[in-house]
Amino acid sequence: MVRNIGITVSAPAKACNDPNCAFHGALPVRGKSFNGIVVSSKSSKMVVVVKEYPHLVGKYKRLERRRSKLHAYLPACISAPEGQRVRIAECRPISKTVSFIVIEASETNGS
């Protein structure tokens, strides 16, 4: 029933019949994957995820914190309110700005 998406994550407890779901639909997952925190879940099938990454400043040989926002598709079987720590994976472009999908919502929320 649940497809193997090729990434070791715990499959969602709920089932859905969303064709764009990585687990229950036919959406291939390939490319990069990130951990991030949901900062906006106003849209019905999309969340805005912030990922933070270190960036080396060569002049000072120090790392600075950078952050970027990614739009990620939210399948019906995963719930991710704002503040939720999620794992997102790259997929084919689903819309103009969405080419990632939420594949796991961690139990421990981001503090």
Interface residue list for Zn ion (CB under 5 A): 16, 21, 23-24, 75, 77
C-alpha distance from residue 67 to each of 10, 37, 52, 76, 85 (Å): 26, 11, 4, 27, 15
Using the minimum distance from each CB to Zn ion, give the nearer residue, 77 or 80: 77
- What's the CA gap between 52 and 88, in Å, rounded? 13
- Min separation Cβ 77 and Zn ion, Å: 3
Using the minimum distance from each CB to Zn ion, give the nearer residue, 36 or 75: 75
Using the minimum distance from each CB to Zn ion, give the nearer residue, 28 or 63: 28
Neighbouring C-beta atoms of residue 55, cutoff 10 Å: 9
Using the minimum distance from each CB to Zn ion, give the nearer residue, 19 or 63: 19
- Min separation Cβ 20 and Zn ion, Å: 9
Residue 80, SS3? coil
- Min separation Cβ 45 and Zn ion, Å: 12
- Min separation Cβ 111 and Zn ion, Å: 28
CB 75 within 8 A of CB 101: yes
Query: What tokens does 41 get?
Result: 């879940």
